[in-house]
Structure 1
Amino acid sequence: MTWFMPPETAPQERIWMAFPRESETLGEGSVAREAGYAAWAAVAHAILEFEPVTMIVDPTETARARQMLGEGVEILERPLDHFWTRDSGPTFVQAPDGSLAAVDWIFNAWGSPDPAEWTNDRGLAAFIAQAAGVPLVPSLLVNEGGGIHTDGEGTVFATETVQLDPDRNPHADKARIGAEFARTLGAEKVIWLPRGLTRDYETFGTRGHVDIVATFAAPGKVLLHDQADPGHPDHAVMREIRALLEEATDAKGRRLEIIPVPAPETLRDAHGFNDWSYINHLVVNGGVIACGFGEDRADARAREILSHAYPGRRVVSVDAREIFARGGGVHCITQHQPKARA
């Protein structure tokens, strides 16, 4: 059977998240850890204005999660390693009859050589699928949800340094990956980006996830990260990616309309050039949960662009600086479950 991944703008049943647990990623010291917990909780509460949220919680964090999330968020206990549900969780797809299923990609913590880093996470997709009451679609591809974007009409974005990463899929090539995307996502065409943002190749990086670079607002319409400052290394990265997309066509043969989304004005944090991006937003029923970076002018400009790109949806900003400091954004810590089609 060939499955189909609907666009992220399709009606949704709920959002899945994972609550942080003490780890190197969460940070050292109580101040850093509390900032991380608060950032995840703020995203969950923002989503609740639009649709239900189910939070997977490691048993060591249950009491804290219940206190910070309140009664509105459903909590399911399960041992966790990481808390980036877009990547360690399943990708929801539909069968030809509209019923739902969940793709179980192989997860190896973004190419980590240490199996101890993903022992618990390897079963997370199956756990979520069972909780959602949908069948599991197994896959032998090492992949993460943040490494793909689809327009819902057969076009998929991917990145050469992710799916072709020898620490992920050492024997794969574009043809094999394209065939697996066709089987699991209904892909008719894969548009391959050469790489991701510069910071994404450092300690907490994913080695090039597309969901911080480009996304489909609608078929044929692409929101693209725009780093205008030539002093930032992502200026050259995005110039190359934009040139590629300007020449690309989608699965239906259309040229892409590119909508640049300017990066925040802040270029650096305590660790060097940042990768702050408004592309890493979450589309929900009737709304968009956007990343905010404490810059009134830039955050407002991003909300305006997103409002035009997603007409009829209310755009809400949530401060994402503490999430980005740990390696991702709002899209990275969430996984949407589409509604089954009748």
Structure 2
Amino acid sequence: MSGGAAVSGGAAGVGAWRMPAEPERHERLWMAFPRGGYTLGDDDASAEAARTAWASVANAAAEFEPVTVVVDPTATRDARRHLSGEITILEAPLDDAWMRDIGPTFVVPSGGFAEGGVEQKLGAVDWTFNGWGAQPWASWEADREIGSFVARAAGACILPSLLVNEGGAIHVDGRGTVLVTETVQLDPGRNPYADRARVEAELARTLGATHVIWLPRGLSRDYEEFGTRGHVDMVAAIPAPGVLLLHSQPDPAHPDHAVMASLRSFLSETVDAEGRPWEIVDLPAPSELRDSAGFVDHNYVNHLVVNGGVLACGFDDPVADARAASVLASVYPGRRVVTLDAREIFARGGGIHCITQQQPAV
């Protein structure tokens, strides 16, 4: 296959489960609500900005599909103040509010049966979570329990995994292809004893992956103090079989201009699980290059697909925001694109995709 050693085909030990592509039908959306800590910031204004940003995503998603938000008991009053009455609230201890990473990855049976021949309807991979590679600033005593908590609440069959992984570190096409990043799954802070073969075998067992594409790295900011060390959902998405939506940084002054040019070249030499070369669709970044902490990682690839719609990141950049909405509408035909201000979420380390996790319909 194209792509050399960075691509795996025909992974052994494919399991009875399949992770559906994000555009497939959802049963509901899961989120967490920010509680006291670094996400809320050091003052009331910052805390309200974070709560408002998270709630705007939940409230917008609730117009398309059912939404459940996990809330730390200390934040329940604030959550009820911000969230629509249509949203279900479940209380559980939390360290943080990045549901894509702390929650489970939902899967469905690849046939009619799973787990010893017993008919199943929904599975949930409970990855091991250790604060994005045991980051010194992170705490995860509560967050490491959220995967199983959400799985039980959803009535899913729990698939425990010893692989340290996060939902933002994988992207699938629902047909066997999975995108990962060498600096995440092979991170010594996450999986010091793993190699590609072991990771691929686990992705086959849990997600039904038959073809793993190993991106060499992620965006520049992801390797700074509060980064994830290369989450793929800041770089690429798969809106349809054989189509790759790719972040683009047009400005040569930004370090990700060279990073994304290199990744685009790499991905253009790979194929999906069915052997098709990718149709690459570029999604240019907004015009802002820096904030007070340095070069930003603002991008539109970190969007969320919902039933009948797409929740797009906005950056108060009318030209770039409109261009991104147009591109998203073209690759998700028939869906309504809703642009939400994502600057407060990105300022805290992620985007709309990072704070959400879809539960597929079965």
TM-score (norm 2): 0.92
Number of residues paired by the alignment? Answer: 340
Paired position in structure 1 for 2:124: 102
Q: Is the Cα contact below 8 Å between 1:41 and 1:69 reproduced in 2?
A: yes
Residues 300-336 of structure 1: CA deviation (Å, up to 9, x unaligned): 1000000000000000001000000000000000000
Structure 2 residue 26 is the aligned partner of structure 1 residue 12: yes
Paired position in structure 1 for 2:275: 253
Q: C-alpha distance in 1, partners of 2:188/2:211?
A: 22
Q: Is the Cα contact below 8 Å between 1:2 and 1:182 reproduced in 2?
A: no
Tell me how far 1:203 sits from its aligned partner.
2.2
Structure 2 residue 171 is the aligned partner of structure 1 residue 120: no
Paired position in structure 1 for 2:4: none
Paired position in structure 2 for 1:176: 198
Q: C-alpha distance in 2, partners of 1:43/1:203?
A: 26
Q: Is the Cα contact below 8 Å between 1:9 and 1:283 reproduced in 2?
A: yes
Task: Decide whether aligned partners of structure 1 residues 116 and 267 sit closer, same or farther in structure 2, where only a CA change above 3 A counts.
Answer: closer
Paired position in structure 1 for 2:66: 52
Q: C-alpha distance in 2, partners of 1:171/1:34?
A: 42
Q: Is the Cα contact below 8 Å between 2:131 and 2:138 reproduced in 1?
A: no
Paired position in structure 1 for 2:317: 295
Q: Is the Cα contact below 8 Å between 1:84 and 1:334 reproduced in 2?
A: yes
Paired position in structure 1 for 2:156: 134
Task: From 168, 171, 189, give the equivalent of 1:167.
Answer: 189
Amino acid in structure 2 at the alignment position of 1:272: G
Q: Is the Cα contact below 8 Å between 1:25 and 1:204 reproduced in 2?
A: no
Instruction: Determine helix, strand or coil for the equivalent of 1:75.
Output: strand
Amino acid in structure 2 at the alignment position of 1:304: S
- 1:201-280 maps to which residues of 2 (within 5 A)? 201-280=223-302
Tell me how far 1:26 sits from its aligned partner.
2.2
Instruction: Determine helix, strand or coil for the equivalent of 1:248.
Output: coil
Give the unaligned 5+ runs of structure 1. Answer: none
Paired position in structure 2 for 1:285: 307
Paired position in structure 1 for 2:6: none
Q: C-alpha distance in 2, partners of 1:61/1:199?
A: 29
Q: C-alpha distance in 1, partners of 2:101/2:237?
A: 16
Identity %: 61
Q: Is the Cα contact below 8 Å between 1:291 and 1:320 reproduced in 2?
A: yes
Tell me how far 1:112 sits from its aligned partner.
1.4
Q: Is the Cα contact below 8 Å between 1:4 and 1:185 reproduced in 2?
A: yes
Paired position in structure 1 for 2:47: 33
Tell me how far 1:178 sits from its aligned partner.
0.6
Task: From 82, 89, 100, give the equivalent of 2:96.
Answer: 82
Task: Decide whether aligned partners of structure 1 residues 115 and 227 sit closer, same or farther in structure 2, where only a CA change above 3 A counts.
Answer: closer
Amino acid in structure 2 at the alignment position of 1:231: A
Amino acid in structure 1 at the alignment position of 2:242: G
Q: C-alpha distance in 2, partners of 1:113/1:300?
A: 36
Amino acid in structure 2 at the alignment position of 1:13: E
Task: Decide whether aligned partners of structure 1 residues 229 and 115 sit closer, same or farther in structure 2, where only a CA change above 3 A counts.
Answer: closer
Paired position in structure 2 for 1:313: 335
Tell me how far 1:135 sits from its aligned partner.
1.1
Task: Decide whether aligned partners of structure 1 residues 265 and 19 sit closer, same or farther in structure 2, where only a CA change above 3 A counts.
Answer: same
Task: From 55, 66, 81, give the equivalent of 2:80.
Answer: 66
Q: C-alpha distance in 2, partners of 1:133/1:272?
A: 43
Task: From 187, 199, 211, give the equivalent of 2:209.
Answer: 187
Q: C-alpha distance in 2, partners of 1:116/1:154?
A: 33
Residues 252-304 of structure 1: CA deviation (Å, up to 9, x unaligned): 11100000000001111111110000000000000000000001111010000
- 1:145-160 maps to which residues of 2 (within 5 A)? 145-160=167-182
Q: Is the Cα contact below 8 Å between 1:108 and 1:115 reproduced in 2?
A: no
Q: C-alpha distance in 2, partners of 1:9/1:116?
A: 31
Task: From 318, 330, 333, give the equivalent of 2:352.
Answer: 330
Structure 2 residue 106 is the aligned partner of structure 1 residue 92: yes
Q: C-alpha distance in 2, partners of 1:119/1:68?
A: 26
Amino acid in structure 2 at the alignment position of 1:251: A
Give the unaligned 5+ runs of structure 2. Answer: 1-14, 113-119
Q: Is the Cα contact below 8 Å between 2:59 and 2:84 reproduced in 1?
A: no
Tell me how far 1:113 sits from its aligned partner.
5.4
Paired position in structure 1 for 2:5: none
